[in-house]
Chains A and B, each alone.
Chain A
């Protein structure tokens, strides 16, 4: 299948609702933990090696066709924050809608039927990559790229950070995204029990605080 399908899926304009989420950057900006490009880079680097690796592993496993019920349970166990579980399922539902319109097929239909309230976003992402004819490496790359791309775009809006600088951060992190995608894919090939579970305490803690803000720019 075509490599360009990967570009369609990874494009920020793919209508899957990701633009409404900051990946924890909004809370980090408010707490003063992201003030500039260096802060954004440290934030994204930590996110990539923790929840990014975990999401990439789930996406790669779904692209390999592992049992979606097992993957969904694995995603729940790796997401202690109910705010983040809800955000992940909402994003999974939105991605599913776009994916079924873009790459219709029985695999996505079955996943949508099995999880009417939405499967976790990385699981849907992996299934979407599979429906688009792409493999686990591509699914993992998409997950890794989103892990850093979401906070970078959000920080431009939240801080007025120079978009050139934000994009330069992403370019500097590209080798890390490759490394994370490779580790995630290798683990996914071993099976669901081998999937990474790397976590980030502050992302879990601040997600709950952020969800309680009366006014916010981003949903998570």
Chain B
């Protein structure tokens, strides 16, 4: 049985959550925010395991002036399903005027035999701030990866700011493990920080270790891109960047 489920979150400037809807395996819960002035939502355990054929979605609206952190209680594990169809996981994030979203889920693990299409669509007001982390681990320890397509589209004031699609695994077009794309690395991730303050003072591009780079985008944003041999090495790079860039 494949399932369809859409969870919804809306955060308001007064710290309330006017919308907090679970659906199927997706259960967003209000949790205690570490930072004053922030609202925190944790998508609990059931977030893991989109199976072949499943269509899961999370819609998040950060209303004008609100500050929301969304994280997850566990890694998301893409697994093969009983039906030979890809699973779909859609994230639709909207951040309003003078609002801020920290989207910091745990890692996505693409298990052997799985086939997952992730689509993340972010719409930002020109005054909005965003911290978004994506970590993809190709295969559980020691196993070959599943197939993963992941598209990230970020628009700011209706204009494209970042648009990327990554494709890995046996169902991806050839060359994904060659010298141009992953070259044998089994974990890859990005940290995106969008802040209107970068308009005046953009970050300077610089390498982060051997397999990472911090780059200013064409708009007011900084992107960390990293590849690593494994999940732990990837987390180290992105966690350090998170502390430096966003003080999270």
Contact = CB atoms under 8 A, between A and B. Distances in A.
A104 interface: no
B206 A49 contact: no
Contacts of B176: 46, 49
B215 A204 contact: yes
A77 interface: yes
Given A73-B159, A76-B218, A205 B181 contact: no
B175 A46 contact: yes
A140 to B, nearest CB: 16
B160 A44 contact: no
B180 A50 contact: yes
A2 interface: no
B225 to A, nearest CB: 5
B213 A39 contact: no
A198 B167 contact: yes
Interface residues of B, number: 41
A78 B160 CA distance: 9
Contact of B165 (A34, A74, A81, A199): A199
A83 to B, nearest CB: 7
A48 B175 contact: yes
Contacts of B213: 81, 204-205, 208-209
Contact of B178 (A46, A51, A76, A78): A46
Interface string B161-177: 11111110000111111
Contacts of A117: none
Contacts of B211: 202, 205
A33 B183 contact: yes
B188 interface: yes
A73 B180 CA distance: 24
Contact of B174 (A31, A46, A196, A209): A46
A204 B205 CA distance: 11
Contacts of A33: 178-179, 183
B25 interface: no
A219 interface: no
Interface string A177-220: 00000000000000000001111111111001101100000000
A209 B174 CA distance: 25
Nearest to A84: B215
A46 B225 contact: no
A42 interface: yes
A208 B206 contact: yes
Contact of B218 (A34, A46, A85): A85
Given A28-B180, A201-B225, A49 B167 contact: yes
Contacts of A78: 163-164
A45 interface: yes
A84 B151 CA distance: 20
Give the one of A45, A80, A199, A212 with max B CB within 10 A: A80
Interface size range of chain A in the complex: 35 or more
B223 A80 contact: yes
Which of A33, A81, A176, A202: most chain B CB closer than 10 A? A202
Interface in A10-42: 24, 28, 31, 33-34, 39, 42
B174 A49 contact: yes
Contact of B153 (A85, A197, A200, A208): A197
Contacts of A73: 159-160
Contacts of A197: 151, 153, 163-165
A134 interface: no
A83 B180 contact: no
Nearest to B188: A201
30 contacts: A24-B180, A39-B178, A39-B179, A42-B175, A42-B180, A45-B175, A46-B174, A49-B173, A49-B174, A77-B162, A77-B163, A79-B218, A80-B215, A197-B151, A198-B165, A199-B166, A200-B180, A201-B188, A201-B227, A202-B180, A202-B182, A203-B180, A204-B225, A205-B211, A205-B225, A205-B226, A205-B227, A208-B206, A208-B207, A208-B213
Interface pairs A-B: 8 shortest CB-CB: A46-B175, A33-B179, A42-B178, A45-B175, A77-B160, A76-B218, A49-B173, A46-B180
Interface of B: 151, 153-154, 159-167, 172-183, 185, 188, 205-207, 211-213, 215-219, 223, 225-227
